Amino acid sequence: MKILKISLIAALVCAASVSADDAKPKRSLKGNMQEVYNTLPKSVDNLGAAFTEGVFYGRLRANAFRWDWKDKDQDNKAFGAGGSILYKTAPLYGISATAGLYYSNSPISNWRQSNNSVGEVKSGKDTFSRYNVDKDGDWEMAVLAQAYLQYNISKTDFKLGRHTFESALTASNDTKMIPNTFEGVSVESKDLPDTTLKAAYFTAQKLRDHTTFHDVLTFNDGTSNWNNNDDSGVHKGLTYKRLQDSGKDVDNELIVVAASNKSIPNLKVDATYTAVPDMVSSLIGELNYAIPVGGVTITPGVRYMKQFDDGAGKVGGAALSGKINAANARTNGYKSGDSLDASLWMARLVASVGAFKGLVGYSKVEDKADIVAPWRGFPTGGYTRAMAQVNWRANAETMMVEAKYDFGKANILDGFTAMARYAIQDSDEKKQGNGGGQADLSIFHMDLKQQITPQLDAKFRLGIVTADSRVSGKDEDSYNEYRFEVNYLF
């Protein structure tokens, strides 16, 4: 493993030096840090050319985090530096291959927690593996996060292996050091007019702070809470032991089927089905309709999610905390302790004019059960989710306003964009304690991004959370969060 890490560092440095003068980047980044490929290998007619005409893509990056909690005992910090090398072969008869090697290190001992306190780290945990630090003190990660075969015919792509997959509840979520990826097969087709169809069958997932692939749903692998699905939105009641004791499978699959259509002018229709068979499933429908009014475009949107309990509720209970059951449900604010049947609905109004974009959003979770979504696609994303918040617990209600301004588009400051949002989350106080619920809070979140060159960008992120004290009388939810990241693509 040490040789692998040294080799990756050397490859990154060499590739960066060779490509430093290339003015047009082969890739660019969306606002959510999802990669967009501007240059792809061209098709060839022989096997040798498939490799010689392939394309390398590199990325150097660094992320720094600081959490300043009102309860000082929870203060934490993290820093990660590293990058990735990705290689795509040229397509031969529509067949190609991709491999992506990723590396992250936390080399500054004064800008990380001690080995014994890695469990205190929040967002910065994705710069290292808590399991590896706890097990052997290793603050480095090196992982082949992407390795897949691809077949393209017309406007349809099939992928087999390790890769990212974007849908309503699954995402690469590549805002730290290493993306969230899945193992399995997927297909995306745009052959039908104005329509995108997607489907996936995944047998494993690798979260951003993991170096190995693991079950898509199970929390804890029988040895550690950090060596299976330990996402912030995971259901902690669906443990390895509970699943085994209940006769359930600890090797689960994730199935996704999604469709998006723009056949009607100005109307975008989306539908997504997501399921872990014999455990939990959901159906999401969404409508967005753009209305031009003079120089302004007004877009009302609605999203509805229905979650179905297919057996997981009996095992883990109605709350993501895993501490709610039929016996204690009523005293902890849940109507049924052993069912995950639930729903969530959202509405928003988006206004766009020139360099400005504004949003007003609202979401409400049915007072039944928490929403299960540990695959880095956020149920309330784009409507009411603010940075680092899991606002899809039962009976949670959120309102949010957001404003974005592109100073470059306005010819004020080239390459500079700013975004600010303010959200008010009304949680159900009865669901604190065993339910794991938060107190009522408000969050101010700001992103400032500067595109320094076509390849280099820097972003500063700020989150200020002001919360009520919990029922216990202790303020466990108030904090200030600071993030800084740099990305160089080559």
Q: What is the mean pLDDT of residues 166-186?
A: 97
pLDDT greater than 50 at residue 17: no
CA distance 329 to 325: 6
Q: How confident is the model at residue 74 (pLDDT cuts 50, 70, 90)?
A: confident
Q: How confident is the model at residue 19 (pLDDT cuts 50, 70, 90)?
A: very low
What percentage of residues in the chain have a pLDDT greater than 90? Answer: 93
Q: Which phi-psi region, left, alpha or beta, contains residue 315 (left: φ > 0; alpha: ψ -120 to 50)? A: alpha
Q: What is the mean pLDDT of residues 391-418?
A: 98
Q: What is the mean pLDDT of residues 377-394?
A: 97
Amino acid symbol at 35: E
pLDDT greater than 60 at residue 459: yes
- CA dihedral over 372, 377, 379, 380, signed as positive or negative: positive
What's the Rg (C-alpha) of the chain? 23
pLDDT greater than 70 at residue 61: yes
pLDDT digits (tens, 9 = 90+) for 252-266: 999 999 999 999 999
Q: Which two tokens stand for residue 427?
A: 């949680």
Amino acid symbol at 138: D
CA distance 332 to 315: 18
**Measured CA distances, 3 to 7, 8, 61, 142, 284 (Å):** 6, 9, 21, 10, 45
- CA dihedral over 209, 215, 216, 218, signed as positive or negative: negative
Q: What is the per-residue pLDDT for 5?
A: 53
pLDDT greater than 70 at residue 12: no
Task: Quote the strand ranges of 177-318, DSSP E.
Answer: 181-189, 195-206, 254-261, 267-276, 280-289, 291-293, 296-309
pLDDT greater than 80 at residue 224: yes
Q: How confident is the model at residue 23 (pLDDT cuts 50, 70, 90)?
A: low
Mean per-residue pLDDT over the chain, rounded? 94
Please list, in sequence order, all residues whose beta carbon lies within 8 angstroms of the beta carbon of residue 5, skipping any fewer than 6 positions away.
103, 105, 140, 142
**Measured CA distances, 366 to 19, 179, 191, 336 (Å):** 52, 31, 37, 12
pLDDT greater than 80 at residue 2: no
CA distance 177 to 209: 8
Q: What is the mean pLDDT of residues 16-35?
A: 72
Q: What is the mean pLDDT of residues 217-230?
A: 96
Domain boundaries, given as residue ranges, for the chain? 2-489
| Closest listed residue to residue 128, CA positions, set 110, 102, 147, 146 | 102
Amino acid symbol at 194: D
280 contacts 372 by C-beta, under 8 angstroms: yes
Q: What is the per-residue pLDDT for 445?
A: 98
- Residue 101 sits at the vertex; the CA angle it makes with 96 and 107, to the nearest 5 degrees, is 165
Please name the helix (run of DSSP H) or strand (run of DSSP E) that holds residue 460, with its range, or none. strand 456-467
pLDDT greater than 90 at residue 399: yes
What would the CATH number be for the domain defined by 2-489?
A: 2.40.160.10
**What string of DSSP letters covers 122-143?**
-GGGGGS-HHHHHHH---EEEE
Higher-scoring residue by pLDDT: 413, 24: 413
pLDDT greater than 70 at residue 120: yes
CA distance 67 to 78: 9
206 contacts 187 by C-beta, under 8 angstroms: no
| Closest listed residue to residue 124, CA positions, set 49, 62, 83, 66 | 66
Q: What is the per-residue pLDDT for 55?
A: 98
pLDDT digits (tens, 9 = 90+) for 134-162: 999 999 999 999 999 999 999 999 999 99
- Residue 167 sits at the vertex; the CA angle it makes with 175 and 337, to the nearest 5 degrees, is 95
Specify the residue for token string 């320094």: 452
Q: What is the per-residue pLDDT for 15?
A: 46
CA distance 345 to 286: 10
Fill in the DSSP letter of residue 41: P
Fill in the DSSP letter of residue 10: H
Q: How confident is the model at residue 71 (pLDDT cuts 50, 70, 90)?
A: confident
- Residue 318 sits at the vertex; the CA angle it makes with 273 and 310, to the nearest 5 degrees, is 40
Q: How confident is the model at residue 32 (pLDDT cuts 50, 70, 90)?
A: confident
| Closest listed residue to residue 463, CA positions, set 484, 486, 479 | 479
Q: What is the per-residue pLDDT for 31?
A: 86
